[in-house]
Structures are given as structure tokens and as C-alpha cells.
Amino acid sequence: MTETYDITIIGGGPAGMFAAFYAGMHNAKTQLVESLAELGGQVNALYPEKTILDVAGFPAVSGRELIANQRRQLDQFPLTIKTGQAVTNVAATDDGFTITTAAGTTQTKAVIIAVGNGAFTPRKLNVANAADFEGQHLFYSARDLDHFRGHDVMVAGGGDAAIDQALMLEKVAKSVTLLHRRDQFRGLAHMVDLLRASTVTVQTPYLIRDLQATADDRLDVTLKQVGSQDDMTHATVDDLVVSYGFTADHHALDAWDVDLAEDHRLIAVDSTMATSVPGIYAIGDGVMYPGKQPLIATGYGEAPVAVRSIMTRYFPDRRGPVHSTSLSDQH
């Protein structure tokens, strides 16, 4: 039987996460659907180590810490959180909407779109047979650290995320090599200092040209030194983690059955965060209205407005007023 939700939130960035928390406060049966393997949107994917200075109540907080705190806030409620699932269609029904992902369809009374700049996917390694090794020896993020325990691991990339993955893997792997196509890293100076002080071997400037399986089920990585005419060199590792950043698909919503009015190529919303389609609301970086600022704090403000609008219109018995002080006995 298809699961039916009161509210479906599409996009698990800071705005979508806060909307899910707020929906939880209103006892709304809520699913939060995120295309990436982890929640946190741009903050987690693009700048986890950056110190953010403009979130109310936090004089300084790293992107990672902010998202971890949001996750703890979310976990107070029995919400359904689906990661690694892009919403590929939203279609109107007689009583709400059908939400489609690769995992199937669900029903929902109302929708909050919080997709930011579009569905993120890791930028893939441009080597012909890369897909053959994905999930076995080739990864786009080192999530399950246990997999890498005692392994020789190569990390490819030059940004904060690549350095971060290398340092994380250093704790469990037998050896870690960080490969970058330039001599200079793009990562924050502080991250580069941590890298230099670590046991991670830095190999620059190199590009990956080919992957082959070895007879003993390891990975032979063919490397080309940038700017040299030399023959290729080889490295044998257990795993390769490619951290080349993300691409955002701005056009994913065009394929949905529902047709949302736009403003400057973003979703047009009114002051209640309602879109042009009744029952669909939108918040965060993906929306436009006069005076809109694409900031974390703005999304945090829009989330309660959208949830309250939905509760008032579709679930008036649960519309509140709700203050967080009613959440627990501790307050």
C-alpha cells in the first residue's frame, strides 16, 4: 500500500531540515526526501569546514556542526527521512500529490519544495570504465569508514572536501595518498596545515587516466603527471575516493507534472510561501519574491511560514499556536 504523508519536504538542505523539524512540532506526518546520501545541502556538501558567522545564536559555527545540530533537532520527532533519493516527479491527484523517486511513489497532502539550486550529484571521474568499479573500489565519498579500515586508499581532489576525506580516512586506513592535479590546494589554509601535519602522502600534480582491476582484487590506477611528456606511472590501492565537488541540476523541476510559476528562473512564492499550485509551498534558495536573500537565515525564517500556512489551510485542528517550549518537560 502506498504510504500517505501530511507534508512532503523535497530537499534536505538547511531550509528543508528546519521545515521538517517545524512540521514535527505540529505533529504532521512528514517525509523529508534528499537526493544526496547526506542531509545538509550546500552547507554540508560545499563548505562543511567553513566558519559561518551569520546564523542567529551562533557567533561562529562550522558548516558541519550546524548541520549536525539540525540533525539532532530533527531526531526529536518520528519523521521519515529518505536520503539518496531524488524526487523525479510531483503530480497532482484528487486529494494532494503523488511524489515519485527511484524507490517508488508516495502520496502527500501538501508539499514544501526546498531544493536550493537543484539536485546535487557528485562530479564523476572522467575515465571510461569508472562505473565498473563504483561501490567496489571507487567511491565519491568515504561514508562507511569501516570499509576502508586497513586499506591503502587514494583520495583525488584539491578542495576542502578532498582534504577532509583524506584526514578522516587517515584514522582508519593503512595508508592515504591525496592526489591533486595542481601543486596548490584550494582548501582553506587551516585545512592545508592539518594536511601537512598528517601522515597523508601528497602527490601532485597528477591526473587519473585509467583504472584496472589487479589479479588480487585491488585497483591499478594509471597516473599522468600534468605538464610532463613522461610515460604514465601506476599506483596500486584498495580504494579510490574521488572528491571533485558536485554538479547541480537546475532543470530537474521542468520534468515534473506540476507547473510552477517562476520569477527570475526561481520558484515564485507569495508571503505565505505558497507557489502558483495550491498545496505546493517553496522555501530556501530556490524561491524568489521581492527582497529575497539566498541565505541560511532566510530559509530558516521561511520554513515556519510554509509549515504554518499548510497547517492552517489543510489541518486546522493542528495549526497551533505551537511554541518550542511545549516540546519537552525540560523547558
For ligand FAD, which stretch binds (CB under 6 A), given 28-36, 131-139, 161-169, 235-243? Answer: 28-36
**Strand, coil or helix: 196:** helix
How many C-beta atoms surround the C-beta of residue 221 within 10 A?
Answer: 25
CB contact at 8 A, 35 and 121: yes
Query: Of 96, 118, 187, 304, which lies in the binding site for ligand FAD, with binding defined by CB under 6 A?
Result: 118
> How many angstroms separate the most distant Cα atoms in the chain?
73
Contact call for residue 164 and ligand FAD (CB under 6 A): no
Record the cell numbers describing residue 257, joined without a space.
507534472
Distances (CA, A) of 72 to 79, 106, 233, 296, 302: 12, 26, 46, 18, 20
CB contact at 8 A, 28 and 318: yes
Contact call for residue 28 and ligand FAD (CB under 6 A): no
Contact call for residue 46 and ligand FAD (CB under 6 A): yes
- Measured from the CB atom, the residue of 118 and 304 that comes closer to ligand FAD is 118
For ligand FAD, which stretch binds (CB under 6 A), given 37-45, 136-144, 145-153, 270-278? Answer: 37-45
Record the cell numbers describing residue 194, joined without a space.
592539518
For ligand FAD, which stretch binds (CB under 6 A), given 7-15, 219-227, 261-269, 270-278? Answer: 7-15
Write out the H or E segment, with its range, that includes residue 207.
strand 206-213
CB contact at 8 A, 179 and 155: yes
For the CB of residue 178, give the shortest distance to ligand FAD in the complex, in Å.
21
- Measured from the CB atom, the residue of 34 and 239 that comes closer to ligand FAD is 34
**Strand, coil or helix: 92:** strand
Write out the H or E segment, with its range, that includes residue 98.
strand 96-101
For the CB of residue 112, give the shortest distance to ligand FAD in the complex, in Å.
11
- Measured from the CB atom, the residue of 88 and 175 that comes closer to ligand FAD is 88
- Measured from the CB atom, the residue of 12 and 96 that comes closer to ligand FAD is 12
CA–CA dist 187, 125 (Å, integer): 20
For the CB of residue 128, give the shortest distance to ligand FAD in the complex, in Å.
27
- Of the candidates 267, 278, 331, 277, the one whose C-alpha atom is nearest the C-alpha of residue 302 is 267
- Measured from the CB atom, the residue of 16 and 158 that comes closer to ligand FAD is 16
Query: Of 25, 67, 114, 273, which lies in the binding site for ligand FAD, with binding defined by CB under 6 A?
Result: 114
For the CB of residue 295, give the shortest distance to ligand FAD in the complex, in Å.
4
Contact call for residue 96 and ligand FAD (CB under 6 A): no
Residue type, 299: G
Contacts to ligand FAD by CB under 6 A: 10-16, 33-36, 41-43, 46-47, 52, 54, 86-87, 114-120, 252, 284-285, 294-297, 299
